[in-house]
Amino acid sequence: MAKYGPISGFPEWTPGQKMLEQDLIAFIALQFELCGFAPIETRAVEPISVLTNKGDDKEIYLLSRLQDTEKNAEASKEAPEKKESTDKEPLGLHFDLTVPFARYVVEHQHLLSFPFKRYQIQKVWRGERPQEGRYREFYQCDIDVVGAEKLDVSADAEMASVMLKALSGLPIPPVELRINNRKALQGFYKGLGVERLSDALRIVDKLAKIGPEAVGQLLADELKLSAKAVEQILALASLKGGPEVIEQAAALGVKHPLFHEGLSELSQVLELTRSAGPVHVDFSIARGLDYYTGTVYESVLLGHEHIGSICSGGRYDNLAAGGKVPYPGVGASIGLTRLLGYLFGRNLIEVHTKTPVQVMVVLNDLDARAQSFAIADQLRQRGIATDVYHAAQNFKKQLKAIEKRGIPYALFIEENGCSIKTLATGVQESINLDHWLPEKQNSRVRFTCHF
């Protein structure tokens, strides 16, 4: 007997939740396209050498052919050395959409125009050990702009604008986008004489958890920084807000060309995103800064900051080795499954819809099937999802079942036309099939937000 049940880390939604997820994906894709991003979809697998190219420590699912494995198991009983696979290189499931995108750009560079703007909404897989709250299969919604050789900092601003457009149209709590800049931090730390940047960033990343005092202590103990340097680092990390904090950062008095280049980039991004929504500079952001080379993004749900960033990304110097030229780029990713898993799991979004059906045709008797299907088709042709009840039960029983399925309307075929009963109110009235429309509140996916 096969095992039927959930598998930790592989979430599945109800049909109604899936309908909402579809709508959100379509909305996000539309925003990306309106802003000029072209969709690509890459295969789910890459050769292991591509996945492990950057020395990433992501957990990878390796594939093997079951039939090979079985043959190998048998073969190995007789001759253990015959265990080679027939495929040239083992394949693994992609753990993000950046690595496949990099491969795609290098593979098709002669066909693409640069700057190349792409979006990609696909599932990714991570071979994590089963653990509560860790997803092993999830959707990511990625956008990236890559240039050939160079890419203006205005692309960093565009990234922020596009993500805000996508996020602010979703049925989620208000979002705040926070940015920082690797050059600003690196220059600042260099100006203070701090050499071990990534160690310093790792310590500063603990600010929210252990507070400034403990962070200061660690900086002094582990990195042997002077009291003055520690004070300056903590002062910079406390700056959060609009353009004024960039001035305040400059006023801390640290002199280093990279620091001022970073501040200038932050200013330009703020300037170009002024009308896009809430973009704040936050000099305490340290995560991702040893990977990215310029602007970095994080975003939080206001009132739900504890779940961490729901959309992150940053600027990089070269998307992929193997190109004719370097491909500098900037990208960001919305963790859609993680977001929905939180909202559904805490009942912050409650989906009422169980089926797309808006109108169920009540079946008068078995001989009425052909006529009922024809009437259903008339409504379908006008974009109204319609079904025909499956059995000629008495009307009371049919209506009860229709209501239980959360379908808003029941249609009766009468001698001289049709009538529709609104189940929520019990009101029944004659209708003209060519003109009747469901009310707005009975639209495709019905849900309530509890936030």
Q: Give the footprint of a copy of itself on residues 104-133 (CB under 8 A).
A: 104, 106-107, 111, 113, 115, 117-118, 123, 125, 127, 129-130
Q: Could you tell me the two tokens for 262? A: 């970073």
Q: Quick one: which of 56, 96, 152, 350 contacts a copy of itself (CB under 8 A)?
A: 152
Cα 259 from Cα 374, distance rounded (Å): 71
Q: Give the Cα-Cα-Cα angle 391, 396, 399 (nearest 5 degrees).
A: 70
Least distance in Å: CB of 140 to a copy of itself? 14
Considering the complex, state which of residue 18 and residue 397 has its C-beta at the smaller distance from a copy of itself.
18
**Which stretch in 32-40, 291-299, 300-308, 422-430 sits in contact with a copy of itself by CB under 8 A?**
32-40
C-beta of 193 vs 383, nearer to a copy of itself: 383
Q: Which is nearer to a copy of itself, 59 or 244 (CB)?
A: 59
Which of the stretches 207-215, 293-301, 369-377, 408-416 binds a copy of itself when contact is defined by CB under 8 A?
Answer: 369-377
* Piece of the chain touching a copy of itself by CB under 8 A; list 12-20, 169-177, 301-309, 325-333: 12-20
Residues 199-238 that bind a copy of itself (CB under 8 A): none
Interface stretch with a copy of itself, choices 277-285, 297-305, 371-379, 408-416 (CB under 8 A) = 371-379
Asked if 325 interacts with a copy of itself (CB under 8 A), we say: no
Q: Smallest gap, in angstroms, from Cβ of residue 158 to a copy of itself?
A: 8
Nearest to 85 by CA among 112, 66, 111, 106: 66
Within positions 391 to 420, which residues make up the interface with a copy of itself, using CB under 8 A? 391, 401, 404-405
Q: Given the complex with a copy of itself, which of 6 and 303 has the nearer CB atom?
A: 6
Rounded Cα gap, residues 189 and 255, in angstroms: 10
* Main-chain phi, psi angles of 232, to 5 degrees: -65, -45
How many whole angstroms separate alpha carbon 236 and alpha carbon 259?
Answer: 12
Integer Cα distance of 146 and 156 in angstroms: 11
Site for a copy of itself in 262-321 (CB under 8 A): 271-272, 275, 321
Asked whether position 423 contacts a copy of itself by CB under 8 A, the answer is no
Burial of 195 (0-12, 13-18, 19+ CB in 10 A): exposed
Q: Which of 24, 28, 61, 167 binds a copy of itself (CB under 8 A)?
A: 61
Tell me if 79 contacts a copy of itself by CB under 8 A.
no
Chain-centroid distance of CA 246 in Å reads: 30
Q: Is the dihedral of CA 196, 266, 27, 175 positive or negative?
A: positive
Closest alpha carbon to 270 in 232, 297, 236, 233: 297
Interaction between residue 43 and a copy of itself (CB under 8 A): yes
Contact pick of 140, 141, 146, 161 for a copy of itself (by CB under 8 A):
161
With contacts defined by CB under 8 A, name the span among 222-230, 251-259, 341-349, 384-392 that binds a copy of itself.
384-392
CB of 167: closest distance to a copy of itself in angstroms? Answer: 16
Region binding a copy of itself by CB under 8 A among candidate stretches 35-43, 207-215, 240-248, 292-300 = 35-43
Distances (CA, A) of 429 to 157, 321, 395, 436: 54, 68, 16, 11
- Positions 336 through 355 that interact with a copy of itself (CB under 8 A): 354-355
- Number of neighbours of residue 272 by Cβ within 10 angstroms: 18
Residue 441 as a binder of a copy of itself (CB under 8 A): the answer is no
Sequence-ordered list of residues with C-beta below 8 angstroms from that of 219, at least 6 positions apart, any chain: 200, 203, 204, 225, 229, 230, 233
SS3 of residue 309 by DSSP: coil
Q: Which is nearer to a copy of itself, 15 or 257 (CB)?
A: 15
- How many residues in the shown chain lie near a copy of itself by CB under 8 A? 104
Q: Tokens representing 321?
A: 């080795």
Strand partners, 297: 179, 313
Please name the residues in contact with 300: beta carbons below 8 A apart, sequence gap of 6 or more: 175, 176, 178, 308, 309, 310
Among 79, 251, 370, 427, binds a copy of itself (CB under 8 A): 370
Which of 136/260 has CB closer to a copy of itself? 136
